[in-house]
Chains A and B, each alone.
Chain A
């Protein structure tokens, strides 16, 4: 057992937040490594404060350590101060659990939650003493694996990652473990052999097993190099969340981190069908956790962690069947000891939501956040975010009348078909929201946050040419002018960062050279505004001989082979194309959880079903479906008796 701690400890005296590097969280393990086990280092390629709460990493940490044939530790990207220190001292990248050198693990597994962390992945591999390019790795080097939402377009990272895991990781990590453990038992002879074996595991994509042919700038074909390597890699999906009540012992960090509270995932997947939302598209179908299991996980989690706040997480938490009853139980019940707070991230915009929020925040009603996303009804139909203005004003009226003072609104700009009237609709909504608030209190305020839209793979908007930097700046200026003196504040995401995200989001294999350049030029922590530098990205694209605008702002045609077409999220390409056309016609599409199936491809191809306890939408408002759901049960509904029966009550 080789611990680097004695060499790390003296370096910590001079760094910011040294507790980032000590481990020792409640719930953490100091596993013994045995020779027959596949050892995983689970790396979140961002700071400890951002990475520690990541639920995916924590789930895999537990599942792997429960296995006899696996052992798992964690690591986070060292901030620039410690990086300088360990490079100077010749200390390699290390795990926080036992401070073991990263290079001694069999697998370095990265969670890719956002594109701008890509350069940090390269940096971590390099700090581990492992060649950053997969083709240069030797049999004694660890296997570099990556998963997470960004793995759904693995191509920009294909040069650096040996194998990607597509979709839910709970089951597939076990299958990968078996392949790696067998390879280890066999003396880790050939890297090529183990990668070829991994390529046959469903849900695993090994980029080196595929040849990409180009026709000028376009992709002509993506071909498997061997007959046993699948032509398409299909995502993995856990059919029933009830089988996976993880994390069982959520980690409790010793320093403050983002989402610093108990987090209980109440469902996975979302079928609201927002066309800009990659998470909603790639995580279908909806799989609710049984309410009883949620209650148990909340009670156990609070008792185990000592937290006084719990978040019920999902992509749209107010959509959970019977959410009002669950919230009332949790708020009024005597869970834990003392005062326990409850939060529901990702709330819809309607009166029902405000009702739940007022149940939760009985005392401190300061700020409430809604995400109408688009400034006009027309653009919201394009996005399929079917919130009516009435929904919004009713929700806001409810919020201000019940004591909230600050309302935050989230919007996207640079959407398909967007005209200046749509953009300016954001200012109008914000002004009207302030006016509603002023009826109740002079202190009413409203902040409109706007972010530039980045089209994402596996969404109906994947063919859309993103707005360039100048155009987004122009739209921000429009809004600034329109909101002057309105009482509403405007905040915006840096259009230059949006552009870099566009390069990485829809890039192909050739973009890897540009990413490598950004990293070599010192461009780590690119999602941190003080470290971000678009100049490096432009330079990198130029060095790679690539036209950045061709990747970012160009509209794609139906017959163009997209870099991620051989990766499948279950959504049929013709469904996505039809939905793209419907978007351009400003036609909405209802939520298939509560209306008949329109066959996007996921459930039918993968023999899956929604797992929902209630076949009707929660009552009140249009629920963002654009339909009149006031009566609650008027929607035609397809019942799925086995699942519903299994989890009712």
Chain B
């Protein structure tokens, strides 16, 4: 929950190409520098080390790409035309990070981290151990069986310890989209609450000898009162008309 002074803004941005190897935290630092380069009127925290008031959504794993990352930043006042700000920030950010949409936000809008309830990915999965291209039929069968099963157990490492967990509750959709050069392309939608699951964990839980090769986060969703909204539509500032966002995320095979 943010304070009611100032002018909060929500951005959607991409993370594509080589920049996918940069961590969530380092992307945050790149944004802080871009805000300073573009001299945005930032609101700072009080305290020993004043930091700009920026909050990020769900972390994206190192190595994953995204068409739909979000962050909220608090400004002291409206910084001129918002689309121009988006363009300027893209120029100040590393290649592969582009601000694709920007909207001003209602005061006291819920923080992204709590508000987002589901995310979608396209995942390219390939055979582990160079076993050749997996057959589309076999993968479809495994996926069908997994969705029909009440549990989907995987082992994950948490703080150095192996933990057995059921990722089935987090899986909302899992579709086989088609073949890629070396593997298969999957579409995946997962819940983020009460506990999410990583695409790689779901792929390995299929027990089909597959590993994730390339992951693209395509969408994030806020579900509230039966409605399903993209984060930029969820909490518009009443004094400003929200920019309609009609861009349909494209499904890309790599």
Which positions in A face B, CB cutoff 8 Å?
5, 9, 12-13, 18-19, 21-26, 252, 254-256, 302-308, 336-339, 363-364
With a CB–CB cut-off of 8 A, which chain B residues contact A255?
22-23, 26
With a CB–CB cut-off of 8 A, which chain B residues contact A254?
19, 22, 26, 30, 94
Contacts of B31-75 to chain A: CB distance below 8 A: 32-37, 39-40, 42, 44, 48-50, 52, 62-63
Nearest 4 CB-CB pairs, A to B? Answer: A306-B33, A18-B21, A306-B37, A22-B18
With a CB–CB cut-off of 8 A, which chain B residues contact A13?
63
Can you list 6 pairs linking A and B with CB atoms under 8 Å apart? A22-B18, A306-B32, A306-B92, A307-B33, A308-B36, A337-B39
With a CB–CB cut-off of 8 A, which chain A residues contact B62?
18
Q: Does B245 sit at the interface, judged by CB under 8 A? A: no
With a CB–CB cut-off of 8 A, which chain A residues contact B114?
none
Contact with A along B1-40 (1 / 0, CB 8 A): 0000000000000000011011100100110111111011
Known: A13-B63, A338-B52. A19 touches B32 (CB 8 A): no
Q: Does B95 sit at the interface, judged by CB under 8 A? A: yes
Beyond contacts A18-B21, A19-B22: 16 other A-B pairs, Cβ-Cβ < 8 A, are A19-B23, A19-B26, A22-B19, A23-B18, A24-B18, A24-B19, A24-B94, A24-B96, A26-B33, A254-B19, A255-B22, A336-B36, A337-B36, A337-B39, A338-B36, A339-B50
A335 to chain B, nearest CB (A): 11
Closest to A307 in B: B33
In angstroms, Cα B35 to Cα A309, docked, is 15
Known: A12-B21, A24-B18, A254-B22. A364 touches B48 (CB 8 A): yes
With a CB–CB cut-off of 8 A, which chain B residues contact A5?
18
Q: How large is the interface on B (under 10, 10 to 19, 20 to 34, 35 or more residues)?
A: 20 to 34
With a CB–CB cut-off of 8 A, which chain A residues contact B94?
24-26, 254
With a CB–CB cut-off of 8 A, which chain A residues contact B22?
19, 22, 254-255
Closest to A339 in B: B50
Contact A303 B37 (CB under 8 A): yes
In angstroms, Cα B33 to Cα A303, docked, is 10
Contact A305 B33 (CB under 8 A): yes
Closest to A308 in B: B36
In angstroms, Cα B26 to Cα A252, docked, is 12
In angstroms, Cα B30 to Cα A22, docked, is 15
Contact A24 B95 (CB under 8 A): yes
B199 to chain A, nearest CB (A): 13
B241 to chain A, nearest CB (A): 28
In angstroms, Cα B38 to Cα A305, docked, is 10
With a CB–CB cut-off of 8 A, which chain A residues contact B21?
12, 18-19, 21-22
User: Among B18, B19, B30, B44, which residue has its beta carbon within 8 angstroms of that of A338?
Assistant: B44
A301 to chain B, nearest CB (A): 11
Interface residues of A, dominant DSSP = loop
Closest to B62 in A: A18
Closest to A302 in B: B36
Of B18, B22, B35, B96, most buried by chain A (CB within 10 Å of CB) is: B18
A255 to chain B, nearest CB (A): 5
With a CB–CB cut-off of 8 A, which chain A residues contact B19?
22, 24, 254
In angstroms, Cα B95 to Cα A111, docked, is 28
With a CB–CB cut-off of 8 A, which chain B residues contact A307?
33, 36
Known: A254-B19, A338-B42. A363 touches B33 (CB 8 A): no
With a CB–CB cut-off of 8 A, which chain B residues contact A25?
94
Of A21, A337, A338, A363, most buried by chain B (CB within 10 Å of CB) is: A338
With a CB–CB cut-off of 8 A, which chain B residues contact A21?
21
With a CB–CB cut-off of 8 A, which chain A residues contact B42?
337-338
A22 to chain B, nearest CB (A): 4
Known: A18-B62, A19-B23, A363-B48. A306 touches B36 (CB 8 A): yes
With a CB–CB cut-off of 8 A, which chain B residues contact A302?
36
In angstroms, Cα B244 to Cα A287, docked, is 59
In angstroms, Cα B21 to Cα A280, docked, is 40
Closest to B36 in A: A306
Contact B44 A339 (CB under 8 A): yes
In angstroms, Cα B63 to Cα A308, docked, is 28
In angstroms, Cα B26 to Cα A22, docked, is 14
A321 to chain B, nearest CB (A): 30
In angstroms, Cα B24 to Cα A376, docked, is 50
In angstroms, Cα B40 to Cα A254, docked, is 21
Contact B49 A364 (CB under 8 A): yes
Contact A18 B36 (CB under 8 A): no
With a CB–CB cut-off of 8 A, which chain A residues contact B44?
338-339
With a CB–CB cut-off of 8 A, which chain B residues contact A336?
36
Contact with A along B85-129 (1 / 0, CB 8 A): 000000010111000000000000000000000000000000000
In angstroms, Cα B30 to Cα A21, docked, is 17
User: Among B29, B30, B35, B37, which residue has its beta carbon within 8 angstroms of that of A304?
Assistant: B37
A41 to chain B, nearest CB (A): 19
With a CB–CB cut-off of 8 A, which chain A residues contact B36?
302, 306-308, 336-338
With a CB–CB cut-off of 8 A, which chain A residues contact B35?
306
With a CB–CB cut-off of 8 A, which chain A residues contact B96?
24
Contact with A along B212-244 (1 / 0, CB 8 A): 000000000000000000000000000000000
With a CB–CB cut-off of 8 A, which chain A residues contact B95?
24
In angstroms, Cα B62 to Cα A21, docked, is 14
Contacts of B141-190 to chain A: CB distance below 8 A: none
B60 to chain A, nearest CB (A): 14
In angstroms, Cα B26 to Cα A18, docked, is 12
Of B21, B34, B35, B63, most buried by chain A (CB within 10 Å of CB) is: B21
B65 to chain A, nearest CB (A): 12
Known: A19-B21, A19-B23, A26-B94. A306 touches B34 (CB 8 A): yes
Contact B26 A256 (CB under 8 A): yes
With a CB–CB cut-off of 8 A, which chain A residues contact B34?
306
A406 to chain B, nearest CB (A): 15
In angstroms, Cα B91 to Cα A400, docked, is 45
In angstroms, Cα B95 to Cα A78, docked, is 23
A252 to chain B, nearest CB (A): 7
In angstroms, Cα B32 to Cα A9, docked, is 27
In angstroms, Cα B36 to Cα A18, docked, is 26
In angstroms, Cα B18 to Cα A13, docked, is 12
In angstroms, Cα B36 to Cα A304, docked, is 9
In angstroms, Cα B23 to Cα A363, docked, is 30
With a CB–CB cut-off of 8 A, which chain B residues contact A304?
37
A606 to chain B, nearest CB (A): 41
In angstroms, Cα B92 to Cα A305, docked, is 9
In angstroms, Cα B3 to Cα A200, docked, is 69
B63 to chain A, nearest CB (A): 6
In angstroms, Cα B40 to Cα A220, docked, is 67
In angstroms, Cα B95 to Cα A364, docked, is 35
Known: A306-B92, A364-B48. A252 touches B33 (CB 8 A): yes
Closest to A303 in B: B37
With a CB–CB cut-off of 8 A, which chain A residues contact B26?
19, 254-256
